[in-house]
Chains A and B, each alone.
Chain A
Amino acid sequence: MIFDIEHETMPREALESIQLMRLRATLDRVYATVPFYRKSFDEAGIKPGDIGSLDDLKRIPFTTKQDLRDNYPFGMFTVPMDNIVRIHASSGTTGKPTVVGYTARDIDTWSTLMARALAAAGARRSDIIHNAYGYGLFTGGLGIHYGAEKLGASVIPVSGGNTKRQIVIMKDFGPTILTATPSYTLHLAEAAEEMGVSFKDLKFKVGIFGAEPWSENMRADIEEKLNLKAIDIYGLSEVIGPGVSIECREAQKGLHIFEDHFIPEIINPETGEVLPYGETGELVITTITKEAFPVIRYRTRDITTLNPEPCACGRTIVRMNKVSGRSDDMLIIRGVNVFPSQIESVLMTIEGVEPHYQLEVDRKDNLDTLTVRVEVNEKLFSDEVKGLQRLEDKIAKDIKEYLGVSAIVKLAEPKSIERSQGKAIRVIDKRKI
């Protein structure tokens, strides 16, 4: 089903003229209200009025996650707090999260986009949505929630965790659509099996999964184990949250980006050069309808390809391929963004610990595991085993507190962490996705 036929199936020419109009209004506003953008445009020698076509967008400088952090917490907001009705945040390398704000109209825009996304995945007013994305600062839970309400479906705000209770709810309430991260979904499948509950006896027809990388193999696995159709959804809090793009249930050939709200570009992550349709590179997004927190040419670090061909489902908006990787070292562990440098800053706060560490990410029983190997030095080395174990526990506890992810900490011998050309290999990702 297409929620907004007018905007989702618009001829490209009409769409582009709406995009240009909205882009210019957004550029005017950020230039007038956000010192960061004024400075960045001025340094590039560009005024918002210079942008006469969509093609001119490439003359504007990029915005990075670091820029958002530098303006922590509210420096990128275009409106006073009087007009902000919601704040979300995601983790950042210095331990400071990236903070995003929404006006009432932004929440309405986001809800509408999520309603479009849910409809594209096959949701109807009659559906019951079991929403196992986390509710809180993370945009996943509330994003899906508002979209479900906007669409008129029933939503169960079950959030993440308490897996056994979730299985009972699935049995008793008969939800027809599951929304969750793919790894948690497989965890749910295992829990159900242990409890003797078969998904064949449940009423799910569709699952909408995202917020972390997942492969086609994982999709096949989920579809088989949960007896439903698995749909990929994409979004990031810096842009709006979930609902930037989604696969349609009809074709499932790429994720439709809601281009009347976002302008996507693909760039070469090394040079910043804009690449033509069909080429693979880093996705860059400009928001053109957001009020409180617009982003201009935001570097998502996600690697994908754009396809402008109209889809069999009838949508004319551009499609992106399933994200195939990241152009930086950010890890997504159970939906939580983790940078190696964050682990480093945790280690640095512990007396005597040197930042010689290695992260090993794996997926065991369908859940991401993070192992942190830390080299021991003479300052840390206690002759007593319990002293060393206390140190391991302290590091694990600090990582959990600081980053919100559980880690297994293993002390390692000095110089045992592989170094290639003098540079330590910080991350070993063993997940097969």
Chain B
Amino acid sequence: MQAEQISIFLENKAGRISEVTGILSGAGVNIRALSLADTSDFGVLRLIVDDNQKAETTLKDTGFTVRKTKVIAVEVSDRPGGLHNILAMLFDSGINVEYMYAFVRQSGDNAVMIFRFDNPEGAVEVLTEKNVTIISGARLCTM
């Protein structure tokens, strides 16, 4: 049920993100969602792309530190309280969010959020039980 995300280590230097996007563009990789976490001296760029393998290989070949991590893509109903409901049910089950960010495309009438949980298996169980749709990695890539 988990989807794959690519994380890239970046030093805080001018033009560094555009180098990544340039490399992916050159390789014909499409970015579906991204988030950037940063500190004063470095950042972690997280990407959902349509071709993980190609993105990882190309970035590694050009000298970036790349790591694949598992995340969970969750359908969130696109109305007030939609995200809150999901966070509340996870909180009640003692599952914490490490980080989260929004997916660009919608799934039908629903928004899609990418989550990294401290307990991914637990999160999948809770969400499935509550009939929340989890989007598989394969489907995410083609959305």
Contact = CB atoms under 8 A, between A and B. Distances in A.
Contact of A413 (B7, B9, B98, B99): B9
Given A376-B65, A383-B67, A415-B63, A388 B44 contact: yes
Contacts of A412: 11, 42
B65 A377 contact: yes
Contacts of A383: 5, 7, 44, 46, 67, 69, 116
B11 A378 contact: no
A416 interface: yes
B40 to A, nearest CB: 9
B66 interface: yes
Interface residues of B, number: 21
A384 interface: yes
Interface string B13-53: 00000000000000000000000011101101010000000
A8 B9 CA distance: 63
Contacts of A416: 11
A388 B42 contact: yes
Interface in A383-431: 383-385, 388-389, 410-416
Interface residues of A, number: 17
Given A412-B11, A413-B10, A416-B11, A378 B41 contact: no
A377 B10 CA distance: 12
User: Which of B9, B38, B41 gathers the greatest number of chain A CB atoms within 10 Å?
Assistant: B9
A413 B67 contact: no
A413 B69 contact: no
B11 to A, nearest CB: 5
Contacts, number: 51
Contacts of B65: 376-378, 381, 413-414
A3 to B, nearest CB: 52
A414 B9 CA distance: 9
B53 to A, nearest CB: 16
Contacts of B66: 378
Contacts of A388: 9, 39, 42, 44
Contact of B63 (A385, A389, A410, A413): A413
Nearest to A385: B37
B42 to A, nearest CB: 5
A410 B44 contact: no
B91 interface: no
A390 B131 CA distance: 37
A412 B12 CA distance: 9
A410 B65 CA distance: 15
B52 to A, nearest CB: 14
A389 B65 CA distance: 16
A381 B63 contact: no
B69 A385 contact: no
B67 A410 contact: no
B88 to A, nearest CB: 24
Contacts of B46: 383
17 contacts: A376-B42, A376-B65, A384-B44, A384-B99, A384-B116, A385-B37, A388-B9, A388-B39, A389-B39, A410-B41, A410-B42, A411-B42, A412-B42, A413-B10, A413-B64, A413-B65, A415-B63
Given A376-B42, A381-B9, A383-B5, 4 more contacts: A376-B9, A381-B67, A411-B9, A411-B42
Closest A-B pairs by Cβ, 7 of them: A383-B7, A383-B69, A410-B41, A385-B37, A381-B65, A413-B11, A376-B9
Interface of A: 376-378, 381-385, 388-389, 410-416
